[in-house]
C-alpha cells in the first residue's frame, strides 16, 4: 500500500510504527472497524501521527467515521482498564494502543482483522510489545479477542463469557469445517 510506505518513510524507528502504519493504511482504505481517529481523541490522533511520523502531513488523511453501539461503552471501559493495567509504560505509543485495541474488540471478526492489521502474527507482536504481562498469560495461543474477553470474565468471576459469537464471524466455516472437527 502506498500510504503504508509513505508513513514508514516518515517514521522515527520507534516501537509500534509498523503496526500503526498498517492500521492507518487499512483504516484509510475503509478496512477494519475503527471509528474516527482510530478511536482516539482528535488531539491524541494528531499527536500519534506527529510523534511517530513527524514528516507526514496528516491533513491528507480522510477521517473515516464509523459509529459504535452506545450500549457497548461499559465494555470499552473494561477493556481499556484491562489493557491499561498490563501496558508497558516504557513503550512509546502503548497508551494509544490501549484505546485502539479496545475499539477493535467491538468488531465481529478476528481482532487482527477488526484493527486493520494484515495478519494474526502482527497482532501477537503488538500484544507482546505493548502488553507483555497480559500476552504472557496467553500460553495456549487463544485467539486474542476471545482471550481478552476471557480475562475480563475471569476477573469478575464469570465463567460464561461474553466473547463475540462464532456464528457471526466471517471465518466460521474455516474454524468449523469438517476437516477441523475432532472426534
pLDDT at residue 168, rounded to an integer: 58
Kindly report the pTM of this predicted structure: 0.85
Rg from Cα positions in the chain = 17
| Ordered DSSP codes for 140-182 | T---HHHHHHHHHHHHTT--S--PPPGGG-TTHHHHTSGGG--
Alpha-carbon distance 34 to 28, whole Å? Answer: 10
153's CB contacts (< 8 A; 6+ apart) are: 159, 160, 161, 162, 163
pLDDT tens per residue across span 93-139: 999 999 999 999 998 899 999 999 999 999 999 999 999 999 999 99
DSSP state of 90: T
Task: Please report, in tens digits, the pLDDT of each residue of the chain (183 residues total).
Answer: 799 999 999 999 999 999 999 999 999 999 999 999 999 999 999 999 999 999 999 888 998 888 777 677 788 999 999 999 999 999 999 999 999 999 999 988 999 999 999 999 999 999 999 999 999 999 988 999 999 999 998 877 655 554 455 555 555 555 444 444 333
CA pair distance 126, 137, nearest whole angstrom: 15
Residue 180 confidence (pLDDT): 40
* Cell numbers for 60: 491528507
Amino acid at each position: 500500500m502506498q500510504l503504508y510506505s509513505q508513513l514508514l518513510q516518515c517514521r522515527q524507528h520507534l516501537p509500534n510504527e509498523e503496526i500503526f502504519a498498517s492500521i492507518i493504511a487499512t483504516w484509510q482504505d475503509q478496512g477494519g472497524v475503527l471509528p474516527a481517529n482510530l478511536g482516539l481523541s482528535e488531539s491524541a490522533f494528531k499527536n500519534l501521527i506527529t510523534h511517530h511520523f513527524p514528516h507526514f502531513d496528516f491533513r491528507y488523511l480522510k477521517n473515516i467515521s464509523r459509529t459504535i453501539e452506545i450500549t457497548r461503552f461499559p465494555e470499552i471501559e473494561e477493556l481499556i482498564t484491562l489493557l491499561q493495567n498490563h501496558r508497558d509504560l516504557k513503550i512509546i505509543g502503548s497508551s494509544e494502543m490501549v484505546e485502539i485495541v479496545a475499539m477493535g474488540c467491538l468488531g465481529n471478526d478476528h481482532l487482527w482483522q477488526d484493527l486493520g492489521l494484515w495478519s494474526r502474527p502482527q497482532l501477537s507482536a503488538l500484544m507482546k510489545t505493548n502488553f507483555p504481562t497480559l500476552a504472557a498469560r496467553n500460553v495456549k495461543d487463544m485467539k486474542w479477542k476471545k482471550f481478552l474477553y476471557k480475562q475480563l470474565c475471569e476477573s469478575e468471576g464469570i465463567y460464561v463469557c461474553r466473547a463475540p459469537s462464532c456464528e457471526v464471524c466471517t471465518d466460521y466455516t474455516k474454524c468449523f469445517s469438517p476437516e477441523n472437527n475432532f472426534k
